[in-house]
């Protein structure tokens, strides 16, 4: 069957009389990625999305296939290794989507700075090894203060000590979802948008065996049955789980809102994506990304309880981002009138999921002294003078010295989780785009 709105009615009719191997609720990157895998494995698959495909968080990200260099501050080598491995796979199968776009990391000598020039070089070297770019044209390098300012003359010069440049990639988040949706459909999966799951069905034993669906175009209701039902609704995960009367698991999501603002490129001139500490000593970092003739920047990270389908940008969000960007780019002087567009997305963050994040805060703050000890250990590890467990111990000790912190939104993990309730409902959610699930 072709993938066309003309076939939608027929696809729904067939779905209503088929028992699938796998039924996926939610057509963001997580659901689309699962569908690609199950369809390719020959499983009879159906995906139901209540809006358009990718209309949730998966079209509202920073649009980077970010390798997560920040993770290296706490030596989360696995997280970085996984991310760069996934990225390499996406590059192979969809070379038209991730584009190499080296990132500039200006380094400031100020309290709470994530990196010093010394530690950023160690982190970038380790990163290059993990990303397999050591010795290539994308290998990292350091810039002097003067070189950074030559590239980005609008940047704050005060306390600037130099910068690091390392390989990162830009993404087209919604397009990546659509490519996965199309691939799964081509492999035989039924992919239906504007189809909202409104109820969970069970067999006589109380085991989940399907869902009730409301067609958002006609308001008609129908049932779809499957052996396995997987909830990949991101920030909506708990809402969908609440539809399941036999789901005994406690709520697990803590959605946080992230806002981006867009200005004309002439207003904020950066030749390449730039990533820097907020300067507020809050452990957060902000991206400024040029695209075509515009520049966008973000994000915020605040708890969110409003309308999940339409998170909005508040004056507080704008004030927060303008303050940070105007402090880092004092020559830009961006005002409210310069903002041409904005978007807001909800991170599907999981409470109590330990780990570090990729653009917000971390598990707590390491003191500079602790971090230097880690850097030394990592250096020795890279020079094959130390074994990995020794480095891990150094990291653990440093972490133990971290003050128990109040868990602010930026400290909730971007890791993902797969849970199975007693009746068999699977829920897969997490805070970072699985570039390919």
Ligand X SMILES: Cc1cc2nc3c(=O)[nH]c(=O)nc-3n(C[C@H](O)[C@H](O)[C@H](O)COP(=O)(O)OP(=O)(O)OC[C@H]3O[C@@H](n4cnc5c(N)ncnc54)[C@H](O)[C@@H]3O)c2cc1C
Binding site for ligand X (CB under 6 A): 25-31, 48-51, 55-58, 60-64, 66, 196-197, 232-236, 240, 258, 299, 345-348, 429, 431-433
**Residue 290: count of CB within 10 angstroms of its CB:** 18
Question: Rounded distance, CA 105 to CA 111, Å?
Answer: 17
- Of 81, 165, 157, the closest CA to residue 126 belongs to 81
Residue 297 · residue 260 · CB < 8 Å: yes
Distance CA 81, CA 130 (A): 6
Quote the CA–CA distance of 241 and 253 in Å, as a whole number.
Answer: 11
Give bridge partners of residue 263 from the DSSP assignment: 295
Instruction: Report the residue number, 49 or 244, with the smaller CB distance to ligand X.
Output: 49
Q: Report yes or no: 432 and 71 within 8 Å, Cβ to Cβ.
A: no
Nearest 5°: the CA angle 23, 28, 34 is 45
CB of 244 to ligand X, least distance (A): 11
Q: Judged by CB, which is closer to ligand X: 162, or 258?
A: 258
Q: Which is nearer to ligand X, 212 or 392 (CB)?
A: 212
Cis peptide before 299 (omega within 30 of 0): yes
DSSP helix/strand/coil, 418:
strand
Minimal distance, residue 393 CB to ligand X, in Å:
30
Nearest alpha carbon to residue 130 among 319, 48, 347, 122 = 122
Residue 369 CB, nearest distance to ligand X (Å)?
A: 32
Q: To 10 degrees, what angle do helices 77-93 and 117-130 make?
A: 50
């Amino acid at each position: 069957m072709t993938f066309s709105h003309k076939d939608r009615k027929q696809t729904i009719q067939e779905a209503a009389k088929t028992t699938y191997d796998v039924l996926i609720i939610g057509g963001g990157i997580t659901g689309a990625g699962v569908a690609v895998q199950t369809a390719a494995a020959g499983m009879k698959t159906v995906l139901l999305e209540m809006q358009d495909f990718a209309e949730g968080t998966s079209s509202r990200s920073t649009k980077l296939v970010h390798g997560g260099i920040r993770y290296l501050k706490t030596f989360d080598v696995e997280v970085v290794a996984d991310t760069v491995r996934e990225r390499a796979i996406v590059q192979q199968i969809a070379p038209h989507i991730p584009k190499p776009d080296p990132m500039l990391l200006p380094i400031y000598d100020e309290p709470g700075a994530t990196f010093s020039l010394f530690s950023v070089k160690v982190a970038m070297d380790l990163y290059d090894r993990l990303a397999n770019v050591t010795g290539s044209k994308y290998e990292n390098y350091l810039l002097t203060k003067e070189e950074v300012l030559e590239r980005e003359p609008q940047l704050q010069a005060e306390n600037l000590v130099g910068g690091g440049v390392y390989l990162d990639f830009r993404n087209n988040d919604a397009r990546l979802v659509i490519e996965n949706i199309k691939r799964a459909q081509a492999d035989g999966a039924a992919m239906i948008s504007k189809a909202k799951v409104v109820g969970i069905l069970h067999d006589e034993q109380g085991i989940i065996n399907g869902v009730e669906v409301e067609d958002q175009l006609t308001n008609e209701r129908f049932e779809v049955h499957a052996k396995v039902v997987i909830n990949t609704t991101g920030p909506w995960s708990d809402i969908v789980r609440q539809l399941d009367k036999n789901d005994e698991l406690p709520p697990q999501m803590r959605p946080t809102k992230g806002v981006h603002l867009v200005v004309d490129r002439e207003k904020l001139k950066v030749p390449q994506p730039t990533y820097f500490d907020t300067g507020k000593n809050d452990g957060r970092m902000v991206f400024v990304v040029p695209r075509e003739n515009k520049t966008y920047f973000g994000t915020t990270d605040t708890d969110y309880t409003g309308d999940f389908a339409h998170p909005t940008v508040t004056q507080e969000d704008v004030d927060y981002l303008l303050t940070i960007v105007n402090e880092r780019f004092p020559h830009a002087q961006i005002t409210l009138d310069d903002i041409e567009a904005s978007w807001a997305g909800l991170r599907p963050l999981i409470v109590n999921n330990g780990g570090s994040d990729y653009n917000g805060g971390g598990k707590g703050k390491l003191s500079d002294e602790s971090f230097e000890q880690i850097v030394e250990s990592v250096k020795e590890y890279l020079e094959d003078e130390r074994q990995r467990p020794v480095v891990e111990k150094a990291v653990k000790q440093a972490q133990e010295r971290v003050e128990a912190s109040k868990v602010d939104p930026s400290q909730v993990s971007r890791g993902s989780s797969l849970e199975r309730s007693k009746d068999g409902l699977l829920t897969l959610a997490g805070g970072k785009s699985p570039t390919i699930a």
